[in-house]
Amino acid sequence: MSRILLVTPRFPYPSLSGGEKWAAKVAEGLAQKHEVSLFSFTVPGAETHQTALAMSLEGRLFKKVFLLPKPAAPAPGLPSLPAMYWSPEAAAALDAATRQTHAQLVHILFSEMACYQAAVHTSLPVVYTEIDSSYLYPWKYYLRETAGLKGFLKAGEFFGSRNYARSHYGRFAAASFITEADGRNISSYLACGATAVTPNAVSPEEFSRPAGEAKGSGIVFLGHYPHYPNEDAALRLARRILPLVRSEAPAASLTLAGSCPTPPVLALACGHIRVPGTAADIRPFLWNAEVFAAPVRYGLGTKGKILEAFAAGLPVVASREAAAGVEGAQPGRHLLVGGSDRDFAAKLAALLRDAALRERLSADALRLVRERFSFSGVVDSVSALYGRVLGA
C-alpha cells in the first residue's frame, strides 16, 4: 500500500463542480488501494463547513487532511488561474505535509496547482492530471475574462500559460488526461513517458432510475454556475434556444438545476423556466426530465453532466464542443449534436416529439457509459500509473 499525497485546488467536499466530483470520487477509490492524504484549499465562505467535513474524513477516508485558506490575493507573475492559488506559505505547508505523511508520491490535480511541483523535494515523484487544457488556446479558455473573442484581446494570458507549462510540466514523472485531446495539447510540455487517459466518469449504478419512478417531462440542464461555461450555456439555452423550441412545442419547459446559480441565471426564472438553486442531490432533476440539453461552448475535457445524463437514461442534445469531449460517443447513436441556436432547438423539439428516438439514444448512451466511463476503471488506471512510477 503506497503513501500518496493528493493535491487539489479546492477541498472537494461537498462536490459541486465537475472537477470536485472527479477529485472526490478518484480519492475515495484510491483510498481503497493506497494510504491517501489530501492537501487542499478551502472555498472562501465555506471554511467552517469544510473544516468540519475534513475532520470527519481524517482517519476514516484519508490518513491526513491538510486544509489551507485560499490565498487572499493573486500571486504576481503567473497566469490568472494559478495566480489565485499560489503562495509561498502554502508551498512551505506542502513541503511539510510530504514529510509528515512520509509520502512516496505526490499527485497534483489540475493546471492551477502545477506550480506546486516546485515545493516538492526532487527525490519525490510527482504525477499530474490535466482536466481541461483550454487555457492554452485563446478561443477555448473557459474563464469569463477570456472566453470566446475576449481571449484574442488577452494574448499575454496565453503566452503566459504556455510559459507556465514549459516551466512546470517537465518535472512530472507521469501524467493523466481527461481526454486524449487534452493529452495531445500538453504532450510537448511533458518529459515523461508514463501517461494514461483517465476520463471524467460516473458511478452508473448511482444514477439508475428508482423502480417505479415515472419519467418526467421537459428539458433539463445541470451546472455549477460560477463556472462561466455553465452560466453562458444556461443563458444561451433560456434566452435563445428555448423560445425556438417553444415555437414548435409550446408546452416545453426548462429546469436549470445544479449549484450556486449566479444572479443572471436566477433572473431567468419564470413560468416555464425553473431555477431551483443548489441541490445536494441532482439525480431527481434528471429522472424528472425528458431531454438533457448541453449547449456548452467553452472549455475542453469531458463534461461530466453529459455522462450523468447518460447514466440516468436521459437522451442528450449537446453542442459540438461538449460532444467532442465524450470520446467514443457517436452523433445520432448516443446523442444528438446541435450547431446553431436554430439547429440545437430543432434537435430538442425532435426529441420531445419522438419517444422512440429518446429510447434508442438513451439505451445506447447508457451502454456506452457503463463500458467506458465508470469511476472504477479510472481509479484502476490512476493506480496503475502510480505502480509504473514507483516501480521504475
Share of the chain above pLDDT 90, in %: 82
Query: pLDDT tens, 334-386?
Result: 999 999 999 999 999 999 999 999 999 999 999 999 999 989 899 999 999 99
Q: 340-377 in b/e burial notation, b at 16+ Cβ within 10 A?
A: ebeebbbbbbbbbeeeeebeebbebbbebbeeebbbee
pLDDT band for position 176 (50/70/90)? very high
Q: What is the pLDDT of residue 134?
A: 85
What structural domains does the chain harbor? 3-201+374-390 (3.40.50.2000), 204-372 (3.40.50.2000)
What does 210-266 look like in DSSP terms, one character per residue?
PTTPPP--SEEEEEETTSHHHHHHHHHIIIIIHHHHHHH-TT--EEEEEE---HHHH
Amino acid at the residue 5:
L
φ/ψ of residue 202, rounded to 5: -140, 170
- Report pLDDT digits (tens) over 56-90: 999 999 999 999 999 999 999 999 899 999 999 99
pLDDT one-digit tens code per residue, 208-230:
988 777 677 899 999 999 988 99
DSSP state, residue 9: S
Side-chain-facing half-sphere of 71: CA atoms under 13 Å: 19
Dump pLDDT digits (tens) for 316-331.
Answer: 999 999 998 898 999 9
pLDDT average, residue stretch 270-274: 96
Please check the confidence at residue 152 and state whether its pLDDT lies above 80: no
Q: What is the mean pLDDT of residues 12-38?
A: 94
φ, ψ of residue 114 to 5 degrees: the values are -60, -30
Q: pTM for this structure?
A: 0.86
CA distance 5 to 37: 5
* Residues facing 130 on adjacent strands: 177
